[in-house]
C-alpha cells in the first residue's frame, strides 16, 4: 500500500490548547480522575506543587489526537489504518495558562506500519510529554 | 531490594464497565478530539485511561503512598479496539518493580499491566501499561 508519508518527514507543531482550570475539571470528570492536585490549588500546594497541575494523560490525549490528525491530513484514504500502539513519557509538569503544541517526525513508514515520534511542548519550548504512536493497516 | 519485588504478579479484578457513546463523546470534548461518527472508540485512543480501578485497588493493596507518586509513563497496545456500546472486563497486575537510588534520594518504579477484554466474546480489546514513580521509594 503506497502512502504519502515518508520516514524523516516532519509532523508540524500545531498549537493544541491553552490549559484552563475549566478544561482540567472537564477532563477530570470525563476520565474519572478525582485526584485533587488537578482541581484544588490549596491541596496541590500542600503536596508541594505551585498550584494545580494538568493531568499528564491530558497531554497524552493531545499527542494521540495530533497523530490521528496528521494521518488523516497526509493520506487521501486513511481508512483501514488503525492505531496499534501508543506510548507517552511524562517529563515536565503543565500548569493552567500553559499553551501546549504537539509535533514531531515520522520515525518509520512502510510495510503497512507508520510510527510517529511526537512531543507536547509548552510555550517556553520545553517538552512536557514525549510519545510515539504506531498505526498499522 | 525490598519485599515489593516479591509482590510482582499480584492482581486486582476483574471489573466490568459499559462504554457508552456519550462517555466517549464527553471524553472527546474534554480533550479536543474530533469524533468520527461510528468510530467513536477509535477517535479517542487514550480513553483507555478510564480502566483504572484495578490500578487504584492495587495501590491500596500494596500501600502505595498517593501523595508521593507521579505518573511516569503510559503505554497502550490496541487489539480489537474500543467500540461504543460494548461492555469490557478488565484485570490488573503489578508487572514490574524497580528501585533506584539517585542524587535526589530513593525512587521506586512500578508498572501495572491491565488486560481489557470484550466481556461478551473474551476477545482482547487492549493492554495498558502504567508506570508510576514513588518519590522517596516504597520504604
Q: Under DSSP, is residue B50 helix (H, G, I), strand (E, B) or coil?
A: helix
Instruction: Enter the pTM of the model.
Output: 0.95
pLDDT tens digits along B78-99: 999 899 999 999 999 999 999 9
Q: What is the pLDDT of residue A2?
A: 46
- A13 touches B at CB < 8 Å: no
Coil vs helix vs strand at B43 = helix
Three-state SS for chain A is: CCCCCCCCCEEEEEEEEECCHHHHHHHHHHHCCCCHHHCCHHHHHHCCCCCCCCCHHHHHHHHHHHHHHHHHHHCCCCCCCEEEEEEEEECCCCCCCCEEEEEEEEEEEECCEEEEEEEEECCCCCEEEEEEEEEEC
- Chain B: give the shortest CA distance to residue A90, in Å: 5
User: What residue of B is the nearest CA neighbor of A69?
Assistant: B34
- Residues 57-96 of chain A with CB under 8 A from chain B are 57-58, 60-62, 64-65, 68-69, 82-90
Is the model's pLDDT at A77 over the cut of 80? no
- Among B92, B133, B110, B124, which Cα is nearest to B10's? B92
Taking an 8 Å cut-off on Cβ atoms, the answer to whether A85 and B77 are in contact is yes
* Interface touch A69/B34, C-beta < 8 Å: yes
- The candidate with the shortest Cα–Cα distance to A130, out of A48, A63, A68, is A63
| Per-residue model confidence as pLDDT tens digits over B33-61 | 999 999 999 999 999 999 999 999 999 99
pLDDT confidence bin for B139, thresholds 50/70/90: confident
Q: Cell match 500545531: residue?
A: A14
Integer Cα distance of A87 and B29 in angstroms: 22
Residues in Cβ contact with A97 at an 8 Å cutoff, skipping those fewer than 6 apart: A18, A19, A20
State the distance between the two ends of chain B, measured CA to CA, in whole angstroms. Answer: 10
Question: Which positions in chain A touch B27 (Cβ < 8 Å)?
Answer: 30-31
| Of residues B29, B31, B67, nearest to A65 (C-beta) | B31
Query: Could you say which of B29, B45, B77 has the minimum Cβ distance to residue A64?
Result: B45
Return the percentage of chain B with pLDDT > 70, whole number: 99
- A10: how many CB neighbours lie within 10 A of its CB? 10
C-alpha B76 chain-centroid distance: 9
Interface subset of A 91-130, CB within 8 angstroms of B: none
Mean pLDDT of A68-96: 92
Q: Per residue in A17-59, pLDDT tens?
A: 999 999 999 999 999 998 999 999 999 999 889 999 999 999 9
- Which residue from B23, B50, B67 is facing A47, i.e. has the nearest CB? B67
Provide, as residue numbers in chain B, all residues whose Cβ is less than 8 Å from the Cβ of A65.
31-34
Comparing CA positions, the residue from A130, A128, A127, A56 lying closest to residue A87 is: A130
In this complex, the residue of A30, A82, A83 whose CB is nearest that of residue B27 is: A30
Q: Is the pLDDT score of A115 beyond 50?
A: yes
**pLDDT given at position B81:** 87
Q: Average model confidence (pLDDT) for chain A?
A: 94
> 10 Å Cβ neighbour count for A73?
12
Neighbours of B52 (CB within 10 A): 21
Amino acid at each position: 500500500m503506497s502512502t504519502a508519508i515518508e520516514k524523516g518527514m516532519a509532523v508540524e507543531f500545531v498549537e493544541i490548547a491553552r490549559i484552563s482550570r475549566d478544561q482540567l475539571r472537564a477532563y477530570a470528570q470525563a476520565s474519572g480522575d478525582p485526584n485533587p492536585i488537578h482541581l484544588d490549588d490549596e491541596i496541590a500546594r500542600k503536596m508541594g506543587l505551585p498550584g494545580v497541575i494538568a493531568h499528564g494523560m491530558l497531554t497524552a490525549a493531545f499527542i494521540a489526537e495530533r497523530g490521528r490528525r496528521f494521518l488523516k491530513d497526509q493520506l487521501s484514504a486513511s481508512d483501514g489504518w488503525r492505531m496499534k500502539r501508543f506510548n507517552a513519557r511524562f517529563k515536565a509538569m503543565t500548569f493552567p495558562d500553559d499553551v501546549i503544541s504537539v509535533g514531531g517526525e515520522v520515525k518509520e513508514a512502510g510495510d503497512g506500519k507508520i510510527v510517529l515520534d511526537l512531543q507536547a511542548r509548552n510555550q517556553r519550548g520545553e517538552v512536557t510529554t514525549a510519545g510515539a504512536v504506531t498505526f498499522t493497516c | 531490594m525490598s519485599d515489593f519485588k516479591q509482590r510482582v504478579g499480584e492482581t486486582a479484578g476483574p471489573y466490568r464497565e459499559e462504554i457508552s457513546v456519550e462517555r466517549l463523546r464527553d471524553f472527546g470534548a474534554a480533550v479536543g478530539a474530533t469524533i468520527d461518527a461510528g468510530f467513536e472508540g477509535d477517535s479517542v485512543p487514550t480513553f483507555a485511561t478510564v480502566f483504572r480501578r484495578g490500578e487504584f485497588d492495587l495501590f491500596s493493596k500494596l500501600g502505595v503512598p498517593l501523595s508521593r507518586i507521579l505518573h511516569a509513563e503510559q503505554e497502550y497496545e490496541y487489539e480489537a479496539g474500543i467500540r461504543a456500546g460494548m461492555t469490557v472486563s478488565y484485570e490488573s497486575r503489578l508487572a514490574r518493580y524497580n528501585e533506584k537510588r539517585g542524587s535526589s534520594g530513593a525512587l521506586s518504579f512500578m508498572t501495572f499491566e491491565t488486560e481489557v477484554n470484550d466481556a461478551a466474546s473474551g476477545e482482547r480489546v487492549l493492554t495498558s501499561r502504567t508506570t508510576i514513580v514513588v518519590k522517596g521509594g516504597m520504604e
